[in-house]
Structure 1
Amino acid sequence: MTHQNLALRGSQSARGLSLVGQAFRRALVSQLHPRMLVALLLPFVIAVMGAVVLLWFFWAPLTGWLDQEATSWGMFNTVDGWLVAVGLFSLKLWLVPLMAAGLLLPLAGILGLGIAAVFVMPLVLQHLEKRDYPGLSRQGQHATVLGVWNAVWVGLLFCLGWIFTMPLWLMPPMALVLPIFWWAFALNRMLRVDAMIEHASPAERRLLWRRHNRQLWLIAGILALVNLVPLFWLVMPVFSALVYAHFCLDAIGRLRAETVIDMPSR
């Protein structure tokens, strides 16, 4: 690879990072607007209600099933017996409830994210369209249907992936890597669609997803890391929607500005 190509790729990477940082800065400013502060309530209330329902109906059967399954884990029982024998604590007493919470609470979280993607994102786009991106025409089609379908399949895949990869949490450092990966997957696959489907045409969406794939995944990775801090759970659905909306609307505007109309020569 020539020095010119390396310099070009370095310049593009720096430009991509600059655009990601710009999206986060703009999202922070937009989040402080009273309308966006009110928008925080819907996904938060839905997530809390979902958590209460899941814990109410599934906590006892899930912990019972996990406790029964734990009896067949040879190494687990050996360590648990050793800890009890030396007078420390029973590993099973805290690990089983922790695993149950690790299964149920993320399901409530993905429900809140889905609500934000389908119902809050249109409010976010309408708000930003008036204040930050006036004149950006809407060229999307079937936005509601596409948004709902995308939220359903991404949410379902997230739940299945989360559940079936949980045994890998016992292998360091998977207990940290897997949650970040699955939340990044859900955020990126859900919000990049909803942030574009109202304004971008299908051709524009495909082009922008290819062009900005790395930046979109970087945004998702940063948000997934922040999502590990419980204090931020209240604002994450709406703030994530704002970051993706700013990045994607700006990308649509820049793409359309690239179009050059050739004037006929006289």
Structure 2
Amino acid sequence: MGLLVDSFWRAAAYCLVPRVIALSLLPLALIAVVAGVGGWLLWADAVAWTQSALEHAHWLATLWGWLGHLGLGDPSGALAPWLVVLAALPVIVIVCVLAVAALVTPALVRLVAARRFAQLERRHGASLAASIAWAAGSTLAALAAMLVSMPLWLIPPLVLVLPPLIWGWLNYRVMAFDALSEHASKPERMAIFQRHQWQLLVIGVLCGFLGAAPGVVWLSGVVFAAAFFILVPLAIWIYTLVFVFSSLWFTHFCLAALEQLRQSPDTLSGVGSPPASSNLPAP
């Protein structure tokens, strides 16, 4: 717990470093272009298709009639943009995670290593190809989980729980792997994932819940159409900053855990495989 809290505060402090703030802006241009082009090409058609689907859904006919009696003239037209935004959020979040992992995380790892772990030996336990393959596999698994769980989002409590859990798992898999890829050997990486898997998952889930907060800004761009082109890029940058913080948290935690592992007298003993009670895969 001490390592978890210590790495949290260090990550928060590093977010105020001008170099880190500048790095958080790097993925914004790419993400904003992708989101802008996608919105320009697909927004009107997506909203129209969603509204048509809502209007022709027989199981919603009673609801539309009831809302009509209350004086709401076009409830499906008001709901359709929200549903399109809700469907786009997973794509935006995944693009943010991958952009930060590819463009920012290596620089953050070098920054933290230079400031705190200059004496920590680099054993290069994972190549760039292995990192890309790991991120791609984890992303596909997260997307599959999103698709399978989407019907459950209609249950109000679950829509607040399931997406952050999935993003947390994706954070845990991608960012912890990248934080250790340069400094840890493969056995060391497996040992840290085994010993600290629940702490790493907690970091991922907490950052997943933090990543849900910018959705309020994103949805405000739908409500306040005049401010759409200001609020949506702001939300994307907040997403990016959240994942930069997440990357810093994982980096501080993982490198400190690696340093402790190498100083331990029983380094790498008895950690060849995950415990039987664990259901989390070792990398």
TM above 0.5, one fold? Answer: yes
Cα RMSD between the aligned structures?
Answer: 2.0
The separation in 2 between residues aligned to 1:65 and 1:167, in whole angstroms, is: 18
Structure 1 runs of 4+ with >4 Å offset? none
Is contact 2:207–2:243 with CA below 8 Å preserved after alignment? Answer: no
Matched with 2:250 is 244
Matches within 5 A, 1:168-183: 168-183=152-167
Matched with 1:82 is 66
Matches within 5 A, 1:124-135: 124-135=108-119
Kindly state the Cα deviation for residue 159 of structure 1 after the two structures are TM-superposed.
3.0
Kindly state the Cα deviation for residue 71 of structure 1 after the two structures are TM-superposed.
4.0
Kindly state the Cα deviation for residue 133 of structure 1 after the two structures are TM-superposed.
0.8
Matched with 1:258 is 264
Is contact 2:51–2:77 with CA below 8 Å preserved after alignment? Answer: no
Q: Specify whether residues 68 and 210 from structure 1 end up closer, same or farther in structure 2 by C-alpha distance, changes over 3 A only.
A: same
The separation in 1 between residues aligned to 2:253 and 2:196, in whole angstroms, is: 10
The separation in 2 between residues aligned to 1:176 and 1:156, in whole angstroms, is: 22
Structure 2 counterpart of 1:153, from 137, 152, 155: 137
Matches within 5 A, 1:44-193: 44-193=28-177
Identity of aligned residues (%): 30
Q: Tell me the alpha carbon deviations over residues 7-33 of structure 1, each in whole angstroms, 9 at most, x when there is no partner.
A: xxxxxxxxxx22111111111122222
The separation in 2 between residues aligned to 1:260 and 1:83, in whole angstroms, is: 67
Q: Using structure 1 for the length normalisation, give the TM-score.
A: 0.84
Q: Using structure 2 for the length normalisation, give the TM-score.
A: 0.80
Is contact 1:30–1:36 with CA below 8 Å preserved after alignment? Answer: yes
Matched with 2:10 is 26
Aligned residue identity for 1:249 = L
Is contact 1:50–1:108 with CA below 8 Å preserved after alignment? Answer: no
Matched with 1:10 is none
Is contact 2:47–2:84 with CA below 8 Å preserved after alignment? Answer: yes
Matched with 2:188 is 204
Kindly state the Cα deviation for residue 70 of structure 1 after the two structures are TM-superposed.
2.5
Kindly state the Cα deviation for residue 84 of structure 1 after the two structures are TM-superposed.
1.3
Is contact 2:153–2:159 with CA below 8 Å preserved after alignment? Answer: yes
The separation in 2 between residues aligned to 1:183 and 1:50, in whole angstroms, is: 20
Q: Tell me the alpha carbon deviations over residues 207-226 of structure 1, each in whole angstroms, 9 at most, x when there is no partner.
A: 11011011001111111111
Matched with 2:239 is 233
| Residue segments in structure 1 that go unaligned for 5+ positions in a row | 1-16, 262-266
Deviates more, 1:64-73 or 1:173-182: 64-73
Q: Specify whether residues 64 and 162 from structure 1 end up closer, same or farther in structure 2 by C-alpha distance, changes over 3 A only.
A: farther
Deviates more, 1:72-81 or 1:182-191: 72-81
Q: Number of residue pairs matched?
A: 245
The separation in 2 between residues aligned to 1:204 and 1:41, in whole angstroms, is: 33
